[in-house]
Structure 1
Amino acid sequence: MSSAGGSGSSSSREVIPLFPLETPLFPGVVLPLQIFEPRYRRLVVDLTSLPEGTERRFGVVAIRQGWEVERVAPAEALFDVGCTAVLRMVAPQRDGGYRVAAVGGERFRLLDVLVPSESSGEHSDEPPYLQALVEWLAEEEAAEEAAGDAGELVGADAAAGIVPDDVVTEVARGSLDLLARNVRDLFARYVADVAVRQGGAPEGLPDDVLDALGPDDLPDDEAAGDVAATAALLREVSDDARGLSYLVASSALLTTDDRQALLAESATRRRLAMESRLLRRELTLLRTLGAVPVPLRQFATPMTSN
């Protein structure tokens, strides 16, 4: 990561509080946290003390290695792409901590991590938590919809400008919808497979998924609530390719490296294409190994359009 060196004068760059976690946060995904460390209690106080109307947000970045980020080089300890978390609820606890709920906001790239000095503390003027100089990452939705990888979608004539732009755009939109439906179906099958292997009931998922399960595959209702919650989320983002891509990225049982690669991808089309490959890989592993590494409730990742 580069040194700050006065580069914060750019409007696309900003210094924000930083909260390292073991996994990435994605836009639109709800993040519940139990705050008990003094430095992060101070962070909550600082955010809630901001003037009314100010967005109360902090940056979430995934930890690449170790937990004591301040004691190692941040460039080695943290991934370089993160997502802001916008506070939506703060509930003080009797022990002085907080229960908070935040929602994933904008993606950013870390340029420099500002480590607090040893003299900083919960009651000092200097914040005791990490801060970071970040640059905001734009989504490529408009550009990819307009271009749509024209050469691949409608052939060489489009690349040569023979096909009208509006035709190229329409084909691009259709291609994105088709890709989103493919990922939605793959994810539904993936959740159903996990439910079956954990003794849950995959009710509430699309009919084609249920049709793919034989009568001997239908187990008891232990995980029915979790599957129903996931099905509800799938319905919620059924017409939102970007929201679907972030739901899958945050909910599927992927490695941190896989999730980080999805977060770093700025184009929904490419993110969905990557998820299609990852879900096919995970389905193959599930059916080959016949085991699930974590409880199904990991899938029920709340999302919001706010």
Structure 2
Amino acid sequence: MVETLPLFPLGTVLLPGASLPLHVFEPRYRQLTIDLVTGTIPGKQFGVVAVRDGWSPDDGREGLHDVGCTASLREVRRLPDGRFDLQTTGDRRFRLVDVDDSTAPYLVANVEWLPDDEGDSPTDLAPFAMAARAAHRRYCTTAWRQQGGGDGEMPADLTDEGATDVADPELAHILAGDCLLPLSDRQELLEETCPMQRLQLIRRSMTREAVLLAELRAVWAPSAKFAVEHSPN
């Protein structure tokens, strides 16, 4: 099924279930915010797509990755000068079919939804989920030590003891939520429709990043042009 979504191109990848704060100041995205709040765009959802490396949001369809994620508008704060601060949450993955730059100040796209593949049972996924959790735990422990914080303490729902369902098909997205991973890793994770493969991807990414943290005391960081927190537009 093809549906229509307004687009917000960014220099980051939004994953299902992840929070994304946005600081909106460009006129076209101010209008998008107004259209969302007033119901001109139903459902209070828009599509977030990552801009390809070396491209800009103004380069059109060719500068965008093919797969993005819808953002659900949770909170809006209008500033005195007309800018907006938004709180959004990632929801559904989609693939771009075509992009229109002529009917609105912002891009509008026809998209098709991207569901997970079927076939992997909870029993099949369980060992991969446990391995991914272990890699996440090593990554977090290494990061806290590098920051002088000791071993730290993970949220209960991200530990093996606090897990109510270690085979949750969205676990890879959850684990990636608080890790600094390169955009290419996050985009690959977003595009992967096999839950088992997704768990293996996040395990490999966090294992690699933990080694970099330990040996180089460095992590990948987004460019200043496209910051994740309160992302400019």
| TM tier relative to shorter chain | 0.7 to 0.9
Partner of 2:131: 182
1:62 matched to 2:22? The reply is: no
Structure 1 runs not aligned, ≥5 long:
1-11, 117-125, 146-171, 206-230, 295-300, 302-306
- Displacement of 1:291 in angstroms is 3.2
**Where does residue 239 of structure 1 map in the other structure?**
165
1:34 paired to 2:23: yes
* 1:107 corresponds to: 93
1:282 shift after superposition: 2.1
Q: Secondary structure at the match of 1:104?
A: strand
Measured in 2, the distance between the counterparts of 1:16 and 1:237 equals 34
Change (3 A) 1:243 1:202: farther
Q: Does 1:256 align with 2:205?
A: no
Secondary structure of 2:177's aligned partner: helix
Q: Indicate whether 1:144 and 2:144 are aligned.
A: no
| RCO comparison, higher one (Cα < 8 Å, 6+) | 2
Residue 288 of structure 1 aligns to a residue whose secondary structure is helix
Gaps of 5+ in 2: 222-228
Structure-2 separation of matches of 1:68 and 1:51? 27
Specify the SS of the correspondent of 1:176.
Answer: helix
Q: 1:280 to 1:238 in 2, by over 3 A?
A: farther
Corresponding residue number in structure 2 for 1:152: none
Which moves more between the two structures, 57-66 or 281-290?
281-290
Deviations 1:182-217 (A, max 9, x none): 111110110110111121233324xxxxxxxxxxxx
Q: Call closer, same or farther: CA 1:251–1:93 in 2, change over 3 Å.
A: same
Hey, what does 2:111 align to over in structure 1?
A: 134
1:277 aligns with one of 201, 204, 211: 204
Is residue 2:84 matched to residue 1:95?
no
CA distance in 1, matches of 2:28, 2:88: 18
Structure whose residues are more often helix by fraction: 1
Residues 223-272 of structure 1 deviation map (CA, whole Å, 9 limit, x = unaligned): xxxxxxxx345157652523321022333222111111110001211100
Distance 2:89 2:156 in 1: 18
For 1:43 and 1:59, the matched residues in 2 are separated by 11
Query: Contact 2:181 / 2:220 at 8 angstroms: preserved in 1?
Result: no
Distance 1:73 1:57, change over 3 A: closer
1 CA distance for matches of 2:176 and 2:49? 15
Q: Read off the aligned partner of 2:187 and give its amino acid letter.
A: Q
- Structure-to-structure mapping, 1:186-205, within 5 angstroms: 186-205=135-154
State the alpha-carbon separation in 2 of the partners of residues 292 and 267 from structure 1: 27
Shift of 1:67: 5.9
State whether residues 198 and 292 of structure 1, in contact with CA within 8 Å, keep that contact through their aligned partners in structure 2.
no
2:95 partner SS: strand
Q: After the TM superposition, which segments of 4 or more aligned residues of structure 1 sit over 3 Å from their partners?
A: 65-68, 235-238, 290-294
Mapped to 2, the partners of 1:68 and 1:109 lie a distance apart of 19
Q: 1:155 is matched with which residue?
A: none
TM-score normalised over the length of structure 2: 0.85
CA contact (8 A) 1:19 1:58 kept: yes
Counterpart CA distance in 2 for 1:280 and 1:202 is 17
TM superposition shift of 1:139:
1.7
Question: For the aligned residues, what is the CA RMSD?
Answer: 2.4
SS at match of 2:213: helix
Question: Whose Rg is larger?
Answer: 1
Larger fraction in strand: 2
The Cα shift of 1:276 comes to 1.7
